[in-house]
Amino acid sequence: MKILVADKISSIGVDFLKQQEGFEVVEAYGSAPEKILELSKGASAIIVRSETKVTREVFEAAAPTLKAVGRAGVGVDNIDADAATDFGVVVMNTPGGNTIATAELTFTHMLCGARPIAQAAASMREGRWDRKIYGGSELFKKTLGICGMGRIGMEVAKRAKAFGMAVLAYDPYLSDSKAEGAGVKQVELDELFGASDYITVHMPLTDATRGMIDDAAIASMKDGVRLFNCARGGIIDEAALLKGLESGKVAAAGLDVYGSEPLAEDSPLRAAKNLNLTPHLGASTEEAQESVGLEIAESVTSVLRDGGIRNAINMPSLDEQTLKTVGPYLELCSALGSLVQQLALAKVEKIKITYSGKIVDLDANSLTRGILKGYLKDISSNVNFVNAMVIMERHGLAVDVLKSSEECDYTELIRVEAHAAGGEVVSAEGTLIGKGNAPRIVSINGREVEVEPHGCMLVIANSDELGIVGKVGGIIGKDGVNIAAMSLSRNEVGGVALNVASLDSDLSETAMADIKSIDAIKQAKLVHL
């Protein structure tokens, strides 16, 4: 498998990849876009930092072999995530590897905003002794407002508490218990703006956060507020920040990220007083680079070796523990989805999935993707866990997922229904049986069966009459096909019976025609799982 390392990562990460049996590692640091397109052909994975852009053209060039794109860092602005999903490629980053480095840089900026260290150092090199003009203030007993309490925000909060600061936090996804455990007070954004002496942002750049700190936000802040951004460029409006610094509303600020990088040589930010600038150094420590390089190498290896997915940004992660828990169900899920798709006769509009029993406590998202992947395998090419949801939407198929608290006959049960426009419903239910967690189909269209979900199966619905099994068996035998197993069921005596025969090979068209010609047969379908 070809691994294209397009941007330079830690040698520890590259060496890890080279030690993997069956991997061909291609190092192409600093390559032009045209060269990246050429090298992407036949690649199973591509690893980048922030320099190389992984565009839709790259995904087109690398299809269908490309399985993963890994970003050695947090931001994925240089990766077309929508195109990745379209092509069924998982995109992963390394949000934990640079946590400490970025938190420490943020605190460095805060300290330099409180005490003019950079300015004083520059004056010393110029031969001056400006002791009186470089006074500062203390962090002790000041209030820090943190916008975004993810990994980095939490680490900044720890350091602020150690300096004796009060910490306010704004994060719509922060639970009360987690805030209490971190010793921070949750507030709304306007309260944080109005009450904080220092404000730092640790949020992703989205439509909601772009320009979040603008003229109006700065006007609502304390006079002499200090602002810092070591997260993503664009969250603080740079023009508004300059106005605040010029007016004195903002006493000091520090930026490590910018709306456009690298920062233009003639940017007015470079001339602003009391503004400390660093060239996107958030992850630029030896420890962080080793950490993210090794982490992304391990993540890519996991995807290619066993399907384990860590820190994915375009699908739920399937780490080792999650795979261990849901793994036994994935074969069953795929089989259930494929079975109802093959049995459905009319145009399907909706797939309804119901989880019952202990399975309701598992990761339903992963299981649902497995079902949809199975449903789509004969409908669309290159379907996998990454793009199954998107492809369903493109086909106009709705997906309803329910977790039922009602009692069922099994410890855990998965029911999949295909609802057609005319009201027809085809359903199948499955569970795991025995110590080996063997997957079993236990119901088709409401009739109890017990079928191993693999290989070729003949599914027959017929009037409950004498001799049907013998007639069908005779036709199958005459066709030279062996019946490996058979499961029979009916809804009532004289009603409609269900016959599921597991076959060692396909039946001929002639044999299928003979079976369908039997008067009592209402439906006969060969299913391949």
The CA distance from 166 to 512, in Å, is 77
CA-wise closest residue to 291 among 93, 51, 88, 19:
93
Which residues are catalytically annotated?
232, 261, 280
Q: List Cβ<8 Å contacts ≥24 apart for 216-221.
A: 217/193, 218/243, 218/244, 218/249, 218/250, 219/249, 220/190, 220/193, 220/194, 221/193, 221/194, 221/196, 221/249, 221/250
How far apart, in Å, are the Cα atoms of 350 and each of 353, 392, 420, 426, 427? 10, 10, 7, 11, 12
How many CA atoms are closer than 13 Å to the CA of 524, on its beta-carbon side? 20
What is the side-by-side order of every strand in the sheet holding 521-528? Answer: 483-490, 496-503, 456-463, 521-528
C-alpha 453: how far from chain center: 29
The CA distance from 438 to 436, in Å, is 5
Which three-class secondary structure state does DSSP give residue 293?
helix
Alpha helices in 426-508 (DSSP H): 468-478
Under DSSP, the state recorded for 520 is T
Which three-class secondary structure state does DSSP give residue 296?
helix
How far apart, in Å, are the Cα atoms of 82 and each of 92, 202, 217, 260, 482? 13, 24, 32, 22, 47
Output the six-digit token pair for 367: 């299981």
Question: CB–CB of 406/356 below 8 Å?
Answer: yes
Which three-class secondary structure state does DSSP give residue 379?
coil
Instruction: For strands 43-48 and 2-5, give the pairing.
Output: parallel
Positions of E strands within 324-364: 348-357
Q: What share of the chain is helix, strand, coil (3-state, %, to 5)?
A: 35, 25, 40
Instruction: For strands 2-5 and 24-27, give the pairing.
Output: parallel
The CA distance from 89 to 37, in Å, is 16
Under DSSP, the state recorded for 312 is B
Omega cis (within 30) before 64: yes
How far apart, in Å, are the Cα atoms of 170 and each of 108, 192, 223, 523? 22, 7, 20, 60
